[in-house]
Structure 1
Amino acid sequence: MSQDSVGHPLLAGLDEQQREAAQALRGPVGILAGAGSGKTRTISHRIAYGIDRGVFAANRILALTYTNRAASELRSRLRSLGVTEVAVRTFHSAALGQLQFFWPQLTGGLPPKLLTNKLPALREVLGELRLELRDEELRELAAEIELVSYSLVSPGQYLERERGVIAGFSPERFVTVLEAYSNYKQQKRLADWEDVLTLTLGLLRSEDRMLEHVQQQYRFFTVDEYQDISPLQQALLETWLGEREDVCVVGDPRQAIYGFAGADAGFLTGFGSRYPNAEIFELNRNYRSTSEIVASANSVASTRNLEPVRGELTSPVVIEAASASAEAKRIASGIAKSLAEGWAPSDIAVLSRINSQLEPIERELGTLGISVQVRGAGRFFRIPEVQKAMLAIRALQISTQPQPLFMLLSEILSQLGWSSQESKSEKWRNLNWFMEIFDELGSPSLDEFVRELGERERSGDEPIREAITLATVHATKGLEWRAVYLCGLNQGWFPISHAKTEAQLAEERRLFYVAITRACDQLTMSYISDRERSSFLKLL
Structure 2
Amino acid sequence: MSAQVDFRSVPLVPAETWRPIGIDDLESEAWKAVRDLGNVAVVAGPGAGKTEFLAQRAAYLLQTGSCPAPYRILAISFKRDAAANLARRVSKRVPEHADRFTSMTFDAFTKGLLDRFAPALPPDWRMRDGYELKFVKPYDARLFLGAIVPEAPPELRYRLSEFQADWFMPQLIGATDLPEVLPSDGPATAEEFAVREWWRTRYLRPGPAYLDFVMINRLAELLVRSAPKIRHALRLTYPFVFIDEFQDTTRAQFSFLDSVFATGTAVTVVGDAKQRIMGFAGAVPKAVERFSKDFGAIPYRLKWNFRSSEPLVRLQHVIASRLDAAAVPAVSKAVREDGHDAAAVWKFSGIDREAEFIADWIADDIATSGREPADFALLARQKIADFEPRFRERLIARGVKLRNDDARVGDMSLQDLLKDETAGLLLGLLHLADQPRGLAEVWRETCTTFARVHGALGDPTAEREAGDALGHSTSALRSWLTDHPPADATADDVVEKVLGLIGEEPLRRFVKLTSPSEDLDLIAGAFAARLRAVTFESQDWTDAFDRFEAKDAVVLLTAHRSKSLEYHTVFFLGLDDDQWWAHDHDPMESISTFFVGLSRAAQRIVFTTTSSSARNGKIAEFFTLLDEAGVPEIDQG
Q: TM-score normalised to the size of structure 1?
A: 0.75
Counterpart pick for 1:75 among 87, 95, 109: 87
1:87 aligns with 102
Counterpart pick for 2:307 among 288, 303, 313: 288
Q: Distance in 1 between matches of 2:39 and 2:32?
A: 12
2:159 aligns with none
Between structure 1 and structure 2, the one with the greater Rg is: 2
Counterpart pick for 1:5 among 16, 20, 32: 16
| Structure 1 residues 244 and 267: CA distance shift in structure 2, 3 A | farther
- Letter of the aligned partner of 2:270 in structure 1? V
Tell whether 2:343 aligns with 1:316: yes
Q: How does 1:227-242 map to 2 (within 5 A)?
A: 227-242=247-262
CA contact (8 A) 1:483 1:520 kept: yes
1:135 aligns with none
Q: Distance in 2 between matches of 1:485 and 1:89?
A: 32
User: Number of paired residues?
Assistant: 482
1:526 aligns with 608
| Structure 1 residues 347 and 150: CA distance shift in structure 2, 3 A | farther
Q: Distance in 2 between matches of 1:488 and 1:279?
A: 41
Q: Distance in 2 between matches of 1:266 and 1:383?
A: 30
Q: How does 1:69-218 map to 2 (within 5 A)?
A: 69-81=81-93, 82=95, 83-85=97-99, 86-104=101-119, 111-115=130-134, 117-119=135-137, 122=140, 141=165, 145-152=169-176, 183-184=201-202, 186=205, 188-218=208-238
- Letter of the aligned partner of 1:471 in structure 2? L
Match of 1:190, SS state, is: strand
1:505 aligns with 587
- Letter of the aligned partner of 2:559 in structure 1? V
Q: Distance in 2 between matches of 1:418 and 1:428?
A: 15
Counterpart pick for 1:257 among 261, 264, 277: 277
Q: Distance in 1 between matches of 2:138 and 2:273?
A: 35
Q: Distance in 2 between matches of 1:506 and 1:297?
A: 15
Cα deviation code 1:428-466 (max 9, x no counterpart): 99959x98xx99xxx978534323234468999999642
Following TM superposition, by how much is the alpha carbon of 1:23 offset from its aligned partner in structure 2, in angstroms? Answer: 3.2
Following TM superposition, by how much is the alpha carbon of 1:405 offset from its aligned partner in structure 2, in angstroms? Answer: 8.6
Cα deviation code 1:254-297 (max 9, x no counterpart): 21122222111422023333344x33211111110111111111
Tell whether 2:123 aligns with 1:61: no
Tell whether 2:404 aligns with 1:360: no
CA contact (8 A) 2:120 2:227 kept: no
Q: How does 1:385-404 map to 2 (within 5 A)?
A: none
1:396 aligns with none
Following TM superposition, by how much is the alpha carbon of 1:209 offset from its aligned partner in structure 2, in angstroms? Answer: 3.0
CA contact (8 A) 1:25 1:55 kept: no
CA contact (8 A) 1:125 1:181 kept: no
| Structure 1 residues 321 and 418: CA distance shift in structure 2, 3 A | farther
| Structure 1 residues 272 and 209: CA distance shift in structure 2, 3 A | closer
Match of 2:98, SS state, is: coil
CA contact (8 A) 2:138 2:166 kept: no
Counterpart pick for 2:596 among 494, 500, 514: 514
Counterpart pick for 1:344 among 355, 361, 372: 372
Tell whether 2:266 aligns with 1:246: yes
CA contact (8 A) 2:583 2:590 kept: no
| Structure 1 residues 153 and 271: CA distance shift in structure 2, 3 A | closer
Q: Distance in 1 between matches of 2:189 and 2:598?
A: 35
| Structure 1 residues 214 and 245: CA distance shift in structure 2, 3 A | closer
Tell whether 2:400 aligns with 1:373: no
Tell whether 2:586 aligns with 1:478: no
Q: Distance in 1 between matches of 2:606 and 2:231?
A: 51
Cα deviation code 1:62-85 (max 9, x no counterpart): 111111111111011101012322
Could you say what the CA RMSD is over the residues aligned between the two structures, in angstroms?
4.5
Match of 1:526, SS state, is: strand
Match of 1:372, SS state, is: strand
Cα deviation code 1:392-431 (max 9, x no counterpart): x9xxxxxxxxx96999xx99xx9xx976989998959995
Q: Distance in 2 between matches of 1:528 and 1:191?
A: 44
| Structure 1 residues 182 and 470: CA distance shift in structure 2, 3 A | farther
1:398 aligns with none
CA contact (8 A) 1:325 1:360 kept: no
- Letter of the aligned partner of 1:67 in structure 2? K
Tell whether 2:352 aligns with 1:332: no
Instruction: Please say which of residues 266-275 and 47-56 is displaced more in the overlay.
Output: 266-275
Q: TM-score normalised to the size of structure 2?
A: 0.65
| Structure 1 residues 359 and 101: CA distance shift in structure 2, 3 A | same
- Letter of the aligned partner of 1:84 in structure 2? A
Q: Distance in 1 between matches of 2:188 and 2:601?
A: 41
Following TM superposition, by how much is the alpha carbon of 1:493 offset from its aligned partner in structure 2, in angstroms? Answer: 3.0
Return 5+ residue gaps in structure 1 as ranges.
130-139, 161-171, 394-402
CA contact (8 A) 2:34 2:56 kept: no
Following TM superposition, by how much is the alpha carbon of 1:236 offset from its aligned partner in structure 2, in angstroms? Answer: 0.9
Cα deviation code 1:194-220 (max 9, x no counterpart): 122111111222223333333333221
Tell whether 2:242 aligns with 1:222: yes
2:328 aligns with 304
Match of 1:270, SS state, is: helix
- Letter of the aligned partner of 1:322 in structure 2? S
| Structure 1 residues 492 and 244: CA distance shift in structure 2, 3 A | farther
Match of 2:515, SS state, is: helix
- Letter of the aligned partner of 2:347 in structure 1? E
| Structure 1 residues 8 and 405: CA distance shift in structure 2, 3 A | closer
Q: Distance in 2 between matches of 1:486 and 1:511?
A: 11
What is the percent sequence identity of the aligned residues? 23
Following TM superposition, by how much is the alpha carbon of 1:4 offset from its aligned partner in structure 2, in angstroms? Answer: 6.5
Cα deviation code 1:192-248 (max 9, x no counterpart): 121221111112222233333333332211111111111110111112214225111
CA contact (8 A) 1:482 1:519 kept: yes
Following TM superposition, by how much is the alpha carbon of 1:50 offset from its aligned partner in structure 2, in angstroms? Answer: 0.8
Match of 1:319, SS state, is: strand
- Letter of the aligned partner of 1:373 in structure 2? R
Cα deviation code 1:154-203 (max 9, x no counterpart): 9x99978xxxxxxxxxxx9xx69x95797256455221121221111112
1:31 aligns with 42
